[in-house]
Amino acid sequence: MRNCPQTWKGFSFLAFKDLRPLVKLSLSSGAMMCLEIWYNAVLILLTGNMKNAEVYIDALSICLNINGWEMVIALGFFAAAGVRVANELGRGSSEGAKFSIVVTAVTSFCIGIVLFFVFLLLRERVAYVFTPNPMVAEAVGELSPLLAFSIFLNSLQPVLSGVSVGAGWQSVVAYVNIGCYYLIGIPVGVLLGNFLHLKIKGIWIGMLFGTVVQTIMLITITMKTDWDKQVEIARNRVNKWTIIEENEEPCNSS
Protein backbone atom coordinates (compact mmCIF):
# COMPACT_ATOMS: atom_id res chain seq x y z
CA MET A 1 0.00 0.00 0.00
CA ARG A 2 1.26 3.48 -0.85
CA ASN A 3 0.41 6.71 0.89
CA CYS A 4 1.51 10.28 0.28
CA PRO A 5 1.64 12.15 3.56
CA GLN A 6 3.41 15.08 1.89
CA THR A 7 0.63 15.55 -0.67
CA TRP A 8 -1.57 17.72 1.59
CA LYS A 9 -0.18 19.89 4.33
CA GLY A 10 -3.18 22.16 4.63
CA PHE A 11 -4.14 25.26 2.69
CA SER A 12 -1.34 27.67 1.81
CA PHE A 13 -0.64 30.43 -0.67
CA LEU A 14 1.35 27.91 -2.73
CA ALA A 15 -2.03 27.00 -4.23
CA PHE A 16 -1.82 30.29 -6.13
CA LYS A 17 1.68 29.69 -7.46
CA ASP A 18 2.02 30.00 -11.26
CA LEU A 19 -1.66 30.86 -11.64
CA ARG A 20 -1.00 33.95 -13.75
CA PRO A 21 -0.53 32.06 -17.07
CA LEU A 22 -3.69 30.02 -16.38
CA VAL A 23 -5.75 33.11 -15.53
CA LYS A 24 -4.44 34.94 -18.60
CA LEU A 25 -5.31 31.99 -20.84
CA SER A 26 -8.76 31.61 -19.28
CA LEU A 27 -9.60 35.29 -19.68
CA SER A 28 -8.37 35.27 -23.28
CA SER A 29 -10.48 32.19 -24.06
CA GLY A 30 -13.56 33.75 -22.45
CA ALA A 31 -13.07 37.02 -24.32
CA MET A 32 -12.60 35.18 -27.61
CA MET A 33 -15.85 33.22 -27.22
CA CYS A 34 -17.92 36.09 -25.79
CA LEU A 35 -16.95 38.43 -28.61
CA GLU A 36 -18.23 35.89 -31.14
CA ILE A 37 -21.51 35.19 -29.28
CA TRP A 38 -22.26 38.88 -28.67
CA TYR A 39 -21.72 39.57 -32.37
CA ASN A 40 -24.98 37.77 -33.27
CA ALA A 41 -26.79 39.52 -30.42
CA VAL A 42 -25.82 42.90 -31.91
CA LEU A 43 -27.47 41.84 -35.18
CA ILE A 44 -30.83 41.42 -33.39
CA LEU A 45 -30.33 44.66 -31.45
CA LEU A 46 -29.76 46.70 -34.61
CA THR A 47 -32.72 45.06 -36.35
CA GLY A 48 -35.07 46.07 -33.53
CA ASN A 49 -34.76 49.75 -34.47
CA MET A 50 -35.98 49.24 -38.03
CA LYS A 51 -39.41 49.71 -39.56
CA ASN A 52 -41.55 46.54 -39.51
CA ALA A 53 -39.09 45.19 -36.95
CA GLU A 54 -41.45 42.50 -35.63
CA VAL A 55 -41.48 40.54 -38.90
CA TYR A 56 -37.76 41.02 -39.44
CA ILE A 57 -36.87 39.91 -35.91
CA ASP A 58 -39.06 36.82 -36.29
CA ALA A 59 -37.35 35.98 -39.58
CA LEU A 60 -33.93 36.72 -38.16
CA SER A 61 -34.61 34.54 -35.11
CA ILE A 62 -35.50 31.63 -37.40
CA CYS A 63 -32.33 32.14 -39.41
CA LEU A 64 -30.17 32.39 -36.30
CA ASN A 65 -31.75 29.24 -34.86
CA ILE A 66 -30.91 27.33 -38.04
CA ASN A 67 -27.45 28.84 -37.97
CA GLY A 68 -27.13 27.73 -34.34
CA TRP A 69 -28.04 24.14 -35.24
CA GLU A 70 -25.31 24.08 -37.84
CA MET A 71 -22.93 25.76 -35.41
CA VAL A 72 -23.19 22.71 -33.13
CA ILE A 73 -21.50 20.69 -35.87
CA ALA A 74 -18.90 23.41 -36.31
CA LEU A 75 -18.21 23.53 -32.55
CA GLY A 76 -17.55 19.79 -32.67
CA PHE A 77 -14.82 20.42 -35.21
CA PHE A 78 -13.67 23.40 -33.10
CA ALA A 79 -13.10 21.09 -30.12
CA ALA A 80 -11.56 18.35 -32.25
CA ALA A 81 -9.12 20.75 -33.90
CA GLY A 82 -8.11 22.32 -30.59
CA VAL A 83 -7.49 19.01 -28.81
CA ARG A 84 -5.75 17.36 -31.74
CA VAL A 85 -3.42 20.28 -32.47
CA ALA A 86 -2.52 20.59 -28.78
CA ASN A 87 -1.80 16.84 -28.55
CA GLU A 88 0.35 16.82 -31.67
CA LEU A 89 2.35 19.83 -30.50
CA GLY A 90 2.72 18.23 -27.07
CA ARG A 91 4.19 15.05 -28.53
CA GLY A 92 6.55 17.05 -30.75
CA SER A 93 4.99 16.42 -34.16
CA SER A 94 4.65 19.53 -36.28
CA GLU A 95 3.66 17.42 -39.29
CA GLY A 96 0.93 15.75 -37.24
CA ALA A 97 -0.41 19.15 -36.18
CA LYS A 98 -0.51 20.39 -39.78
CA PHE A 99 -2.14 17.17 -40.97
CA SER A 100 -4.84 17.39 -38.29
CA ILE A 101 -5.58 20.98 -39.34
CA VAL A 102 -6.02 19.93 -42.97
CA VAL A 103 -8.24 16.95 -42.11
CA THR A 104 -10.59 18.85 -39.79
CA ALA A 105 -10.77 21.88 -42.08
CA VAL A 106 -11.52 19.86 -45.22
CA THR A 107 -14.10 17.64 -43.49
CA SER A 108 -15.94 20.60 -41.95
CA PHE A 109 -15.72 22.52 -45.23
CA CYS A 110 -17.35 19.66 -47.17
CA ILE A 111 -20.22 19.50 -44.68
CA GLY A 112 -20.60 23.26 -44.95
CA ILE A 113 -20.80 23.11 -48.75
CA VAL A 114 -23.63 20.54 -48.59
CA LEU A 115 -25.61 22.58 -46.04
CA PHE A 116 -24.96 25.75 -48.06
CA PHE A 117 -26.80 24.35 -51.06
CA VAL A 118 -29.53 22.73 -48.94
CA PHE A 119 -30.59 25.98 -47.27
CA LEU A 120 -30.04 27.98 -50.44
CA LEU A 121 -32.57 25.76 -52.21
CA LEU A 122 -35.07 25.48 -49.34
CA ARG A 123 -35.41 29.25 -48.93
CA GLU A 124 -38.77 30.20 -47.32
CA ARG A 125 -39.96 26.58 -47.10
CA VAL A 126 -37.78 25.99 -44.06
CA ALA A 127 -39.55 28.83 -42.23
CA TYR A 128 -42.82 26.89 -42.03
CA VAL A 129 -41.15 24.52 -39.58
CA PHE A 130 -41.19 27.46 -37.15
CA THR A 131 -44.16 29.63 -38.15
CA PRO A 132 -47.38 29.62 -40.25
CA ASN A 133 -47.01 33.37 -40.95
CA PRO A 134 -46.44 33.88 -44.71
CA MET A 135 -44.90 37.33 -44.17
CA VAL A 136 -42.25 35.88 -41.87
CA ALA A 137 -41.66 33.00 -44.32
CA GLU A 138 -41.20 35.49 -47.15
CA ALA A 139 -38.69 37.44 -45.08
CA VAL A 140 -36.81 34.22 -44.33
CA GLY A 141 -36.74 33.49 -48.07
CA GLU A 142 -35.16 36.91 -48.68
CA LEU A 143 -32.54 36.22 -46.01
CA SER A 144 -31.82 32.63 -47.09
CA PRO A 145 -28.79 33.52 -49.29
CA LEU A 146 -27.21 35.29 -46.33
CA LEU A 147 -28.08 32.36 -44.07
CA ALA A 148 -26.51 29.92 -46.53
CA PHE A 149 -23.35 32.03 -46.74
CA SER A 150 -23.19 32.26 -42.92
CA ILE A 151 -23.40 28.46 -42.73
CA PHE A 152 -20.64 28.22 -45.33
CA LEU A 153 -18.35 30.49 -43.28
CA ASN A 154 -19.21 28.58 -40.09
CA SER A 155 -17.79 25.44 -41.68
CA LEU A 156 -14.29 26.91 -41.70
CA GLN A 157 -13.99 29.75 -39.21
CA PRO A 158 -14.61 27.65 -36.03
CA VAL A 159 -11.98 25.11 -37.14
CA LEU A 160 -9.41 27.88 -37.43
CA SER A 161 -10.45 29.20 -34.01
CA GLY A 162 -10.01 25.67 -32.63
CA VAL A 163 -6.51 25.55 -34.09
CA SER A 164 -5.78 28.84 -32.33
CA VAL A 165 -6.99 27.39 -29.03
CA GLY A 166 -4.84 24.30 -29.47
CA ALA A 167 -1.79 26.44 -30.18
CA GLY A 168 -2.52 28.80 -27.29
CA TRP A 169 -3.28 31.91 -29.37
CA GLN A 170 -6.49 32.87 -27.57
CA SER A 171 -5.34 36.42 -26.85
CA VAL A 172 -4.37 36.94 -30.49
CA VAL A 173 -7.77 35.72 -31.70
CA ALA A 174 -9.52 37.96 -29.16
CA TYR A 175 -7.83 41.00 -30.71
CA VAL A 176 -8.67 39.72 -34.21
CA ASN A 177 -12.33 39.36 -33.18
CA ILE A 178 -12.46 42.89 -31.78
CA GLY A 179 -10.99 44.35 -34.96
CA CYS A 180 -12.96 42.29 -37.48
CA TYR A 181 -16.31 42.17 -35.69
CA TYR A 182 -16.62 45.46 -33.86
CA LEU A 183 -14.36 47.81 -35.85
CA ILE A 184 -15.24 46.47 -39.32
CA GLY A 185 -18.36 44.28 -39.32
CA ILE A 186 -20.76 46.33 -37.21
CA PRO A 187 -19.85 49.77 -38.69
CA VAL A 188 -20.15 48.41 -42.24
CA GLY A 189 -23.48 46.78 -41.33
CA VAL A 190 -24.85 50.04 -39.88
CA LEU A 191 -23.68 51.91 -42.98
CA LEU A 192 -25.34 49.47 -45.38
CA GLY A 193 -28.50 48.99 -43.33
CA ASN A 194 -29.29 52.54 -42.22
CA PHE A 195 -27.55 54.89 -44.61
CA LEU A 196 -27.80 52.86 -47.83
CA HIS A 197 -31.28 51.64 -46.81
CA LEU A 198 -30.60 47.93 -47.28
CA LYS A 199 -32.19 47.38 -43.85
CA ILE A 200 -31.64 43.94 -42.29
CA LYS A 201 -29.86 42.65 -45.37
CA GLY A 202 -27.35 45.47 -45.15
CA ILE A 203 -26.66 44.83 -41.47
CA TRP A 204 -26.18 41.11 -42.05
CA ILE A 205 -23.98 41.69 -45.14
CA GLY A 206 -21.78 44.05 -43.14
CA MET A 207 -21.42 41.59 -40.29
CA LEU A 208 -20.69 38.78 -42.74
CA PHE A 209 -17.97 40.99 -44.18
CA GLY A 210 -16.40 41.17 -40.72
CA THR A 211 -16.51 37.37 -40.47
CA VAL A 212 -14.90 37.05 -43.92
CA VAL A 213 -12.06 39.35 -42.86
CA GLN A 214 -11.63 37.36 -39.65
CA THR A 215 -11.52 34.06 -41.55
CA ILE A 216 -8.91 35.43 -43.98
CA MET A 217 -6.78 36.63 -41.08
CA LEU A 218 -7.00 33.28 -39.28
CA ILE A 219 -6.08 31.44 -42.50
CA THR A 220 -3.10 33.77 -42.96
CA ILE A 221 -1.94 33.30 -39.35
CA THR A 222 -2.28 29.50 -39.62
CA MET A 223 -0.44 29.27 -42.94
CA LYS A 224 2.40 31.59 -41.92
CA THR A 225 2.97 29.89 -38.57
CA ASP A 226 6.27 28.08 -38.07
CA TRP A 227 4.89 24.86 -36.59
CA ASP A 228 8.36 23.54 -35.77
CA LYS A 229 8.79 26.59 -33.55
CA GLN A 230 5.39 25.91 -31.96
CA VAL A 231 6.61 22.41 -31.12
CA GLU A 232 9.65 23.91 -29.40
CA ILE A 233 7.43 26.25 -27.39
CA ALA A 234 5.24 23.33 -26.31
CA ARG A 235 8.32 21.24 -25.42
CA ASN A 236 9.72 24.07 -23.27
CA ARG A 237 6.43 24.27 -21.38
CA VAL A 238 6.45 20.51 -20.77
CA ASN A 239 10.08 20.63 -19.61
CA LYS A 240 9.25 23.46 -17.22
CA TRP A 241 6.50 21.47 -15.51
CA THR A 242 8.65 18.32 -15.50
CA ILE A 243 11.38 20.19 -13.60
CA ILE A 244 8.81 21.46 -11.09
CA GLU A 245 7.48 17.91 -10.52
CA GLU A 246 11.00 16.49 -10.12
CA ASN A 247 11.78 19.08 -7.46
CA GLU A 248 8.77 18.11 -5.39
CA GLU A 249 9.20 15.64 -2.52
CA PRO A 250 8.37 12.07 -3.59
CA CYS A 251 5.60 10.11 -1.90
CA ASN A 252 6.58 7.76 0.92
CA SER A 253 5.66 4.10 0.55
CA SER A 254 4.66 1.60 3.20
Q: Is residue 98 scored above 80 in pLDDT?
A: yes
Residue 64 pLDDT: 85
Give the bridge partners for 164, in sequence order. none
Q: Where are the alpha helices (DSSP H) in the chain?
A: 20-47, 53-90, 94-122, 134-154, 157-167, 170-177, 186-190, 199-224, 227-247
Burial of residue 253 (number of CB atoms within 10 Å: 0-12, 13-18, 19+)? exposed
Q: Could you tell me the pLDDT band of residue 39, with boundaries at 50, 70 and 90? A: confident
Q: Is residue 19 scored above 70 in pLDDT?
A: yes
The CA distance from 42 to 48, in Å, is 10
**Residues 137-191 pLDDT 10s:** 998 898 899 999 999 988 888 899 889 888 888 888 888 888 988 899 889 988 9
The CA distance from 64 to 43, in Å, is 10
Question: Domains of the chain: which residue ranges?
Answer: 41-231
**Residues 233-251 pLDDT 10s:** 877 765 655 544 445 444 4
The CA distance from 149 to 144, in Å, is 8
The CA distance from 172 to 222, in Å, is 12
Q: Is residue 209 scored above 90 in pLDDT?
A: yes
pTM of the predicted structure, to 2 decimals: 0.79
Q: Which of 125, 156, 153 is closest to 62 using CA atoms?
A: 125
DSSP letter (8 states) at residue 1: -
* Residue 59 · residue 69 · CB < 8 Å: no
